[in-house]
Amino acid sequence: MISLASQHGAAEHDLKNTVLILNGPGLGDLGNYNSRLYGRMTLASLASDCQALCDALGLELDFRQTDNQDEMFRWIAKDSEKFDGVIINPIGHSPAMMQMFELYRSAIQMIASLKKPVIEVHITNIYRHVDEVTQPLHEPAGEMGFICGFGKLGYLLAIRALARKFGAARET
């Protein structure tokens, strides 16, 4: 599990421009998993770049990854309530992870229904795959966004989108 919380930590968030980035099963070992898809990217370098952008935009960040499906569900269902916005890459592309996808989908729909912005991010273009995992999470009544296929840039775009949503983005 990777967890990178900014100075104040998740427990002290008071809903002032706080972002939770969740990375689910299959994303902990990006560079070794499939270098053709992920290049030389590591989760640590991704976390570092996300933290640097959040710092520049005045956002608090809690960046997490787990390969434990139960822990991921708990983070989605419980911890996300402590944040103003959530960015999630729910699962790495793997047929074994498809079982949990519906569980994640229902938890994300619950967050979105609370009118908190949720942005689903995928490093690769998920539409190249031909299974149920290629269907983005969605909640018609909530605030959902979706970015895929832009590599690390997808996370940075999602952070900028939340900053604008929060009104916290500095002119850069």
Active site residues: 38, 122
Question: How many CB atoms within 10 Å of residue 125?
Answer: 12
H or E element that contains 63: strand 60-65
Query: What is the chain's length?
Result: 172
CA pair distance 46, 51, nearest whole angstrom: 9
Is the CB of residue 66 less than 8 Å from the CB of residue 72? yes
